[in-house]
Copies of this chain bind each other. A is one copy, B any other.
């Protein structure tokens, strides 16, 4: 089995604060790696360095052996990595359809002239969201007017709608209702079956144990330890989050 994604010695400094000090791990096809850690441990910063939003102060990311570091979010996305950001990164003034397709809008041709195919995009958005258990009352309304969970569902839909090699999810179920949370967990299983590599960030211990093939615990910017779910338990993970090493 070849490694899909290799993260090697990532560091990120914000002014005087070294948010990520030294993080290395790998993701294999069909594997779900959970990044766990306390608030401010540096989880979101790590995944933003992978997806190209931040340039690392130091360290490298490889995908299928090719260097990814230094590339734009555009190039990273083209390389097959989709990301659900913690802050969702939605365009609040657009409808769910356009948000779903943002950057890859569907067009239809009328007399050879390309037009945005708003109808198709809306319908697709409604469909994908329904598969997550979410019904949007008015699919033409801007996402600004949607509830917290509806918004999160759009962000999830965006990442899973495209055939990706790797899906990164930063607390994807934080705002979701109970049935929707279950849908997302089922979704992760399905993606794994398709050979997609997954990086999941979550604060929910039952979810972590249910989804993870490996749990990597970050504490204050460094990897505090790595465990398979079967080898560990809640208490150990929490202790590692609080900073107890290995």
Contacts and interface: CB of A to CB of B under 8 A. Distances in A.
B14 A145 contact: yes
Interface residues of A, number: 41
A137 interface: yes
Contacts of A205: 178
Given A41-B177, A148-B171, 5 more contacts: A38-B178, A38-B179, A39-B177, A40-B149, A149-B203
A39 B138 contact: no
Contacts of A241: 177-179
Given A175-B171, A176-B203, A241-B177, A148 B87 contact: yes
A177 B203 contact: yes
B86 A148 contact: yes
Interface in A21-47: 37-41, 44
A150 B40 contact: yes
A238 interface: yes
